[in-house]
Amino acid sequence: MEANQKQALIGVICCHKQQDAYQIQSVNEFYLNALAAYGAGAILLPHHLGASALNRVLSQLDGVLLTGSHSNVDPQLYAASHHEPRLDPGRDRLAFAIVDYSRQQGLPVFGICRGFQEMNVALGGSLHHQVYLREGAIEHREPETKDFAVKYASQHPLKLNPQGKLAQWLDTEQIEVNSLHNQGIDQLAEGLQLEAIAEDGLIEAYCLAEHPFFYAVQWHPEWQAAQNPLSQVLFSQFVAAAERHQQA
């Protein structure tokens, strides 16, 4: 960061959780640590922001990170009727408003796991709610272990779109990623460009091509973001886009 350049400020969406009798707005510190590793500051975005307040806050931010979560996007939002036991309607509302603002104003947005899924749904796409039951599916679900090194270890390869941003950033045709998800993309929203796909055909990264930075991945690059080469590329590109937005 140059001496006269202000620290990029990234809004990080909160999740609603219950702890004992308390209702909590929370963020996993993996995401905050990842932003800090690339020189960005984090501002937490709770669900209680009304439309006017949210627009005022977003106008002062340089980017937004839509994190992973144990909750799922409400199926009604993509015209599905199955039951989901873990919903977070406040997050759905906030994320959709952020995506709408980002698309209109060019604010950089980076989506991870749930963020990847909700960005697609917000633009009109749909989800599979049990990707592991698809015909020919490989294993995508979270390993049953408390050892983070095992939980976040690389689990399967992805083929990159040779014309995509990630292929250009990495100068490669294939990567290995971790996998901690039950749901995934069914129909990719109109206007989104496929960036990476698993060997069973599941889309795992996309972007909005003409946007300054509207990028989303199904895996979890926040784990060891300062050490993992793939995570380094994603977070450095996101923070660089946020810095450009600040300067503009």
Predicted local distance difference test score (pLDDT) of residue 132 = 86
| Residue that has been written with the tokens 């996309």 in this structure | 206
Burial class of residue 149 in the structure, from the number of CB atoms within 10 Å of its CB (0-12 exposed, 13-18 middle, 19+ buried): exposed
Give the residues of the chain that fall short of pLDDT 50.
Answer: none
The DSSP secondary structure of 8-23, one letter per residue, reads PEEEEE-EEEEETTEE
In angstroms, the CA 180 to CA 8 distance is 29
Q: Is-contact 37 225, C-beta < 8 A?
A: yes
Burial of 193 (0-12, 13-18, 19+ CB in 10 A): middle
Over its C-alpha atoms, the chain yields an Rg (Å, rounded) of 17
Count CB atoms within 10 A of the CB of residue 172: 12
Task: Give dist(CA 210, CA 214) in Å, integer.
Answer: 9
Ramachandran area for residue 198 (φ above 0: left; ψ -120 to 50: alpha; else beta): beta
Phi then psi dihedrals of residue 168, to 5 deg: -70, -40
Residues annotated catalytic, as ranges: 113, 220, 222
Q: Which CATH number fits domain 9-247: 1.10.10.10, 3.40.50.880, 3.20.20.70, 2.30.30.240?
A: 3.40.50.880
- Side-chain-side CA neighbours of residue 203 (13 Å): 21
* Torsion angle of C-alpha atoms 187, 189, 195, 200, degrees rounded to 10: 0
Which amino acid is it at 213?
Answer: F
Q: Are 218 and 181 in contact (CB under 8 A)?
A: yes
CA distance 109 to 213: 6
Structural domain boundaries of the chain?
9-247
Which of 116, 127, 112 lies closest to 78, judged by CA?
127
pLDDT recorded at residue 133: 84
Residues in Cβ contact with 155 at an 8 Å cutoff, skipping those fewer than 6 apart: 139, 140, 143, 176, 177, 178, 179
Please report the pLDDT score of residue 4 as a whole number. 60
